[in-house]
Amino acid sequence: MPIVVGFVPTPEGHAALHRAIDEARLRGRRLVVLNASRGDALVDSRYASASDWATVQQTLADSGVEHEVSQAVEARDPADQLLRVAQQTNAELIVIGLRRRTPVGKLIMGSSAQTVLLEADCPVLAVKAAP
């Protein structure tokens, strides 16, 4: 029953990661960190670069929490990939970062957070970036 966190290299993503570490420590659970991309655009700013990813791993190592990290490029939405990992690991909790979206932006691009919130089988903790 691990805690699954969807990481993106943004302030929201870092906030989610830190909160997830706190939760994992509090509950004494394993932490699964996922960073995913559809891989269909040449550049995806939500796919962590090598240096971002090294920082994440450093943060996790420093926290002393039992953890597992994976970066995946698959033919489905990052939200679906996150839900799948949560299902496969029988997750206790999903942690995601939440950012402000304009209604139009949400209409056109959809919202990964919304997909996760509505379709997850377990509780979802949505974290905002520190102001």
Partner 1 sequence: MDGINALLEGFGTALTPVNLLYAFLGVLLGTAIGVLPGIGPAMTIALLLPLTFSLEPTQAFIMFAGIYYGGMYGGSTTSILLNTPGESASVITAIEGNLMAKRGRGAAALATAAIGSFVAGTIGTLGLALLAPQIVKVAVQLGSPDYFAIMMLAFIAVTTVLGSSKIRGLASLGIGLLIGTIGIDPTSGQQRLTLGIPELADGIDVVVVAVGLFAVGEALWVAAHLRRQPVEVIKVKSARMSRDDWRRSWLPWLRGTAIGFPFGAIPAGGAEIPTFLSYATEKKLARHPEDFGKGAIEGVAGPEATNNASAAGGLVPLLTLGIPTTATAAVMLGAFQGFGIQPGPRLLDQQSDLVWALIASLFIGNVILLALNLPLAGMWARLLHIPRPYLYAGILFFASIGAYAANTSTFDLWLLLVIGLLGFFMRRFGLPIVPAIIGIILGPVAEEQLRRALQISNGELSGLYDTWFSKAVYAVALVLLVAPAVIDRVRARRGEPALAHSHANQEGE
**Cβ 48 to partner 1 shortest distance, Å:** 10
Q: Which residues bind partner 1 (CB under 8 A)?
A: 37-45, 47, 49-50, 73-75
d(CA 30, CA 65): 7
**Cβ 40 to partner 1 shortest distance, Å:** 4
Task: CB nearer to partner 1: give 45 or 58.
Answer: 45
d(CA 43, CA 17): 23
Task: CB nearer to partner 1: give 26 or 50.
Answer: 50
Counting Cβ atoms within 10 Å, is residue 45 exposed (0-12), middle (13-18) or buried (19+)? Answer: exposed
**Cβ 64 to partner 1 shortest distance, Å:** 30
Task: CB nearer to partner 1: give 8 or 21.
Answer: 8
Could you tell me the two tokens for 7?
A: 């990481």
**Cβ 111 to partner 1 shortest distance, Å:** 16
d(CA 36, CA 42): 14
Task: CB nearer to partner 1: give 40 or 62.
Answer: 40
Task: Provide CB contacts within 8 A for 47, sequence distance 6+.
Answer: 9, 35, 36, 37, 39, 71, 73
